[in-house]
A and B are shown apart, each in its own frame.
Chain A
Amino acid sequence: MSEKINCGHCGMMLYHGEEIARRLYMRAIPSEETVLGFYGNACPRCKGALSLETVKVEIKGRRTHAR
């Protein structure tokens, strides 16, 4: 599973990689909020405020019987 987070204002890609919640143990990044925090909760390009309400989160992967 992969995950992409884009700024909802200007579309800038803020994160691409493993689905954040996917690792069973020892997550490299605890949550989407952590990613937004890396940027100081403001998009470096458009300066728009970043929160879970203002970003587009896209998770891709094959459907399985468990999910």
Chain B
Amino acid sequence: MATYNEHIQIGEPALINKGIEKAITAAAKANPRILAILEDMGFPGIEWWTTTIPERMIECGIAEQNGAVVAGALASEGFIPIINNFLFANVGRAFNQVRQSILVDRFNVKFIGREGAWGEVGVSHNTIEGLASSRTLPNLVILNPADVVEAEKAAEAMLQYIGPVLLRQESSPTPLRIFRDDYPFDIGKAYTVKEGADATIIATGYMLTEAIRAVELFEAQGLDVAIVNMCTIKPLDEEAIIAAARKTGAIVTAENGTIVGGLGDGVASVLAENYPVPMVKVGVEDEFSQSGLITPERDELMEHFGLAAEDLVVAVQDCVAKKERLRRV
């Protein structure tokens, strides 16, 4: 039976958007400078916004570049605009405006960006590149919460922090409720979900659910695997990464997005410069997302992209084998 750290209490699946909605609505009630920037999309708690404070909602239409510039201008006057959209749109399509009109001056704009390899909206909307491409942007803090509790805490922290933040809301199967309400969330800090000796999985977002689902499979294989939750993608918690490498000597990263430039590459970069150990990156390979069949019996996309618990077991086995080969050299 696995032993988890003290703030973990595995529960039923729960939608992370509920946590984001709760935090943003509470913050907007308390702070009249928080504004909703719409781009022909919904907004967390939109019914409350439209009935209570419609004057604090600005519809920019399907014109994301305009939305970014409007948000930057409002932030320059002390407002806290939140732009909710698919990540390919509010940051991706408006990449240059986000860079020029928000990040260069480090304006206090918040992005909620939906993205992930899973869903039924296909290659155009289930994008997987946004987290990786956003990592290249200076001054942007990037959060990718794993469950409903962490989503609420991350959204609260995003609004408490003064500066631009991207909160990635994943397109994924509904994640398990993982954290207790007293989970001490901190921007920039990883959290060790479970200790282990053979390898460490560093997971972000929904992939923490698959890592937890894999625990029983690891035990059946006689593998003692640590799990670290990495909600903050930028700045990465380098100390936690190096500590995990020192402890287990084998790192598997797990992300619901491209492995090119994402969490895995960030972790690899930290390890290569500080404490090189064998690694395997689990995520979407260098390819586009696509539509797939999702039924209660079968999830074609998780299977296709190799993002399920069983795939993490294979990755850990491969990583431990690499570690053993190096020991023999």
Please list the residues of chain A having a beta carbon within 8 angstroms of any beta carbon in chain B: 2, 4, 6, 11-18, 28-29, 35, 38-39, 44-45
Assembly CA distance A41 to B282 (angstroms): 42
- Chain B interface category by residue count: 10 to 19
Please list the residues of chain B having a beta carbon within 8 angstroms of any beta carbon in chain A: 104-106, 138-141, 160-163, 186-189, 234-235
Contact: A13 with B139, CB < 8 Å? no
Q: List B contacts of A38 (CB < 8 A).
A: 162
Contact: B138 with A17, CB < 8 Å? yes
**With contacts A14-B161, A16-B188 known, is A2 near B138, CB below 8 A?**
yes
User: Main SS of chain B's interface residues?
Assistant: loop
Contact: A28 with B188, CB < 8 Å? no
Contact: A2 with B186, CB < 8 Å? no
Contact: A18 with B188, CB < 8 Å? no
Q: List A contacts of B160 (CB < 8 A).
A: 12, 44-45
Contact: A2 with B104, CB < 8 Å? no
Assembly CA distance A45 to B160 (angstroms): 8
* A-B complex: 8 closest residue pairs judged by Cβ atoms: A17-B139, A38-B162, A13-B187, A13-B188, A28-B106, A28-B105, A44-B160, A18-B138
A-B pairs under 8 A by CB, number: 44
Assembly CA distance A28 to B101 (angstroms): 12
Contact: A17 with B163, CB < 8 Å? yes
Instruction: Give me 16 A-to-B residue pairs in the complex whose CB atoms sit less than 8 angstroms apart, sorted by A's number.
Output: A2-B235, A4-B235, A6-B188, A12-B187, A13-B141, A13-B186, A14-B162, A16-B139, A16-B163, A16-B187, A17-B106, A17-B139, A17-B163, A28-B104, A28-B139, A44-B160
Assembly CA distance A23 to B141 (angstroms): 19
Q: List B contacts of A44 (CB < 8 A).
A: 160
**With contacts A13-B187, A45-B160 known, is A18 near B235, CB below 8 A?**
no
Assembly CA distance A65 to B140 (angstroms): 28
Q: List A contacts of B189 (CB < 8 A).
A: 11
Q: Closest CB-CB distance, B240 to chain A, in whole Å? A: 13
Contact: A4 with B188, CB < 8 Å? yes
In the complex, besides A17-B163, A18-B106, 19 extra interface pairs with C-beta distance below 8 angstroms are: A2-B138, A2-B235, A4-B188, A11-B189, A12-B160, A12-B187, A13-B161, A13-B186, A13-B187, A13-B235, A15-B163, A16-B187, A16-B235, A17-B106, A17-B139, A18-B139, A28-B105, A29-B106, A35-B162
